[in-house]
């Protein structure tokens, strides 16, 4: 990229307003680039191009409301923008200085709109450490990163600290791996540093594979230099000269921004030879993965980087002793690397003051599922599930009841509603049978069937098992078939003890964490929701009304007004009756798709 034609290289102009429009993947797929183009056109048409600057930022977190935009210095938050909203917005807010209420966030129906970002619970209840620059800078401009403390931590370690002091600082901070297992980062670095070898590697694991998780993706999209800076600091501490970012091909935007960031950092001498004139040499290569879940496992990832089939291997030797190409190798996840610069800048003590006894700092979660405010959330370790689901997430939509929260992705477990006040850290989650994982969090309401959920994760895992260990390859598939049969109403009472037995074998006899944790979805749902399995098996009934073979739809003749809305939408013409009279469903034709239930305004469609 030619740096000369980037505006950042010139003297920045004075603007009276910055429009920070979200260009994270969520908002982009909701067409935020079209909104940006419309804004550019309208602002030019109005002659405001010299006064108002448009900045495309990384993910700002409130993905449910996208495309979103923040207007500074007014701190006004706009949501769900379309190109059609742009002329009004420019006329009112930017020409006349009147923020537009109709485009603001409304917490609950009937409540007044909230103009200021800082007054919206979703934002105000979070604590940003890793994401502290989210939405505040253009991730494709290195000068904006440098303008906000960027590369200061690197300059500090290179000029004022020895590698051992750097490792000590990370150790004292209490930072633990954010990829899942929670291994102490400083200790990991120390092992790699002490490992003999003249050339060493560090790897950034950006192979985020949990369904519904997008923390690492968003960190790279919104603040790629933070990851790079963390890696360069790590390279100095460990004594590594080569770095790799292993990222999945299906993250095109993250990959693009990563490439731009690496180019810019090289141009500035922040990567390559003689970094910042201090004699330290380190460069980073981006390696694209094809998106296999098993590549999140360190030795599989190394195999994939070397061009081999990604299969885990026996440890020891650990990667720190013999990793990529046989060199001592240190692997950390994206979020772990992004934590490093702020620890150096603000100090280990500051970082260690956030969080719980055993888990320091914050954690980024992608909160999805049956929750009003889906999005990217960063909170201190020790925050309760209740705070995340209700205060930040805005609760379960549609007046439904919360059933539980699934954390940790396919390797994680389900936490029931009764444990909603659980403070989240590595140990507390393990105690209740789940894991931190990389930070996926799926909120489930009363209409989620726990047996079906276990079936879903087993289906995912049997496809992602690399097949090396028999227990994982055959065991997970066998567990899947049993659970699927239960969902179909073909379960036997002996299935539950069989599942538990298989789970033990898969957990104990598989080489890597994929197999080791694969039974978690079954074990945790059996632990807290055994009655649902029993209802499926003994009563041939799905209490949540999800498993198709076990439910049937009927229309309540008292509530049905005969509006015919369901009749018109039924794809099988299975609903009959006269207008303004109660309708009936033909059970032989009904495919149980649920469209009638969604379309009924009178809650007259019943599932049993």
Partner 1 sequence: MAKLKPQDLDKIADRMRRQMTLREGAGRARVTVHMGTCGISAGARKIMTTLLDLVQQEQIDDIILTTSGCAGLCSREPMMTVELKDNAPVKYVDLTEDKTRKIFSDHILGGKIVAEYALGVGSERES
- Pick one of 49, 82, 98, 494: the residue that binds partner 1 (CB under 8 A): 98
Separation of alpha carbons 160 and 173, rounded Å = 18
Residue 277 sits in the site that holds partner 1 (CB under 8 A): yes
100 or 206, CB closer to partner 1?
Answer: 100
User: Which residues are 605's β-sheet partners?
Assistant: 555
Residue 51 sits in the site that holds partner 1 (CB under 8 A): yes
Residue 72 sits in the site that holds partner 1 (CB under 8 A): yes
With the C-alpha atoms ordered 571, 575, 576, 582, is the resulting torsion angle positive or negative? negative
72 or 584, CB closer to partner 1?
Answer: 72
The one segment of 95-103, 339-347, 523-531, 593-601 that binds partner 1 by CB under 8 A = 95-103
Length of the chain: 608
Residue 15 sits in the site that holds partner 1 (CB under 8 A): yes
Residue 148 sits in the site that holds partner 1 (CB under 8 A): yes
Burial, 199: exposed, middle or buried (Cβ in 10 Å; 0-12, 13-18, 19+)? exposed
Residue 261 sits in the site that holds partner 1 (CB under 8 A): no
Angle between helix 163-173 and helix 185-194 axes, rounded to 10 deg: 150
- Pick one of 29, 82, 199, 274: the residue that binds partner 1 (CB under 8 A): 274
Strand ordering across the sheet containing 201-206: 272-275, 280-289, 242-248, 201-206, 329-333
196 or 277, CB closer to partner 1?
Answer: 277
Separation of alpha carbons 326 and 302, rounded Å = 10
Range list of H helices, 403-494: 426-431, 450-464, 470, 476-487
Long-range contacts of 100-107 (CB under 8 A, 24+ apart): 103/78, 103/79, 104/76, 104/77, 104/78, 104/79, 105/65, 105/77, 105/79, 107/394
Residue 95 sits in the site that holds partner 1 (CB under 8 A): yes
Residue 146 sits in the site that holds partner 1 (CB under 8 A): yes
97 or 398, CB closer to partner 1?
Answer: 97
Residue 12 sits in the site that holds partner 1 (CB under 8 A): yes
Cβ pair 192, 330 in contact under 8 A: yes
Site map (CB under 8 A) of partner 1, residues 163-182, x = contact: --------------------
The one segment of 143-151, 180-188, 472-480, 489-497 that binds partner 1 by CB under 8 A = 143-151
77 or 529, CB closer to partner 1?
Answer: 77
Residue 269 sits in the site that holds partner 1 (CB under 8 A): yes
545 dihedral zone (left: phi>0; alpha: psi -120 to 50; beta): left
Residue 45 sits in the site that holds partner 1 (CB under 8 A): no
- The secondary element (H helix, E strand) that includes residue 365 is strand 362-369
The one segment of 35-43, 73-81, 301-309, 471-479 that binds partner 1 by CB under 8 A = 73-81
- Pick one of 56, 158, 175, 295: the residue that binds partner 1 (CB under 8 A): 158
Q: Are strands 242-248 and 201-206 parallel, antiparallel or unpaired?
A: parallel
Binding residues for partner 1, rule: CB under 8 A, are: 3, 11-18, 20, 50-51, 53, 72-75, 94-98, 136-137, 143-144, 146-152, 155, 158-159, 267-270, 274, 276-278
């Amino acid at each position: 990229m030619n740096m000369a034609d980037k505006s950042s290289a010139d003297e920045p102009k004075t603007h009276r307003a910055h429009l920070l429009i979200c260009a994270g993947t969520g908002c982009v797929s909701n067409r935020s680039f079209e909104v940006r183009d419309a804004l550019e056109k309208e602002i030019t048409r109005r002659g405001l191009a010299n006064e108002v600057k448009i900045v495309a930022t990384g993910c700002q977190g409130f993905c449910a409301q996208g495309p979103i935009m923040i207007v500074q210095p007014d701190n006004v938050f706009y949501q769900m923008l379309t190109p059609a909203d742009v002329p009004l917005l420019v006329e009112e807010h930017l020409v006349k200085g009147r923020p537009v209420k109709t485009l603001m966030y409304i917490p609950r129906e009937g409540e007044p709109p909230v103009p200021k970002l800082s007054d919206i619970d979703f934002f105000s209840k979070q604590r940003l450490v890793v994401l502290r620059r989210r939405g505040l800078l253009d991730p494709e401009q290195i000068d904006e990163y440098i303008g906000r403390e960027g590369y200061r931590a690197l300059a500090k370690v290179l000029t004022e600290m020895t590698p051992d002091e750097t490792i000590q600082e990370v150790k004292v901070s209490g930072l633990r791996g954010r990829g899942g297992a929670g291994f102490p980062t400083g200790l990991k670095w120390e092992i790699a540093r002490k490992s003999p070898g003249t050339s060493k590697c560090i790897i950034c694991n950006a192979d985020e594979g949990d369904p519904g998780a997008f923390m690492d993706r968003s960190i790279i999209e919104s603040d790629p230099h933070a990851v790079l800076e963390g890696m360069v600091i790590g390279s100095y501490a460990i004594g590594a000269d080569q770095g790799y970012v292993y990222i999945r091909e299906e993250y095109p935007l993250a990959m693009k921004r990563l490439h731009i960031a690496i180019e810019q950092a090289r141009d500035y001498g922040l990567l390559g030879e003689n970094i910042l004139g201090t004699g330290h040499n380190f460069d980073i290569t981006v390696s694209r993965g094809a998106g296999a879940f098993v590549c999140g496992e360190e030795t599989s990832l190394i195999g994939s980087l070397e061009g081999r089939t990604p299969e885990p291997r026996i440890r020891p030797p650990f990667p720190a002793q013999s990793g990529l190409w046989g060199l001592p190798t240190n692997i950390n996840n994206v979020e772990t690397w992004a934590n490093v610069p702020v620890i150096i800048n603000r100090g280990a003590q500051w970082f260690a003051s956030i969080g719980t006894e055993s888990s320091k700092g914050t954690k980024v979660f992608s909160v999805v599922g049956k929750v009003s405010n889906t999005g990217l959330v960063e909170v201190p370790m020790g925050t309760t599930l209740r705070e995340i689901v209700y205060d930040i997430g805005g609760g379960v939509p549609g007046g439904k009841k919360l059933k539980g929260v699934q954390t940790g992705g396919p390797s994680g477990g389900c936490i029931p509603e009764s444990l909603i006040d659980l403070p989240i850290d590595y140990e507390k989650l393990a105690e209740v049978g789940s894991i931190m994982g990389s930070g996926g969090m799926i909120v489930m309401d009363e209409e989620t069937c726990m047996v079906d959920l276990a079936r879903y994760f087993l289906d995912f895992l049997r496809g992602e098992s690399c097949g090396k260990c028999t227990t994982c390859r055959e065991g997970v598939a066998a567990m899947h078939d049993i659970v699927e049969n239960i969902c179909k109403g073909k379960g036997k009472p002996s299935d539950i003890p069989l599942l538990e037995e298989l789970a033990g074998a898969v957990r104990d006899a598989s080489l890597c964490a994929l197999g080791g944790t694969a039974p978690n979805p079954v074990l945790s749902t059996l632990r807290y929701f055994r009655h649902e399995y029993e209802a499926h098996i003994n009563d041939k009934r799905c209490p949540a009304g999800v498993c198709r073979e076990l439910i049937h739809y009927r229309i309540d003749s008292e509530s049905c007004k005969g509006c015919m809305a369901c009749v018109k939408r039924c794809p099988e013409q299975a609903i009959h009756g006269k207008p303004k009279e109660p309708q009936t469903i033909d059970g032989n034709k009904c495919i149980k798709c649920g469209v009638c239930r969604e379309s009924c305004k009178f809650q007259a469609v019943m599932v049993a």
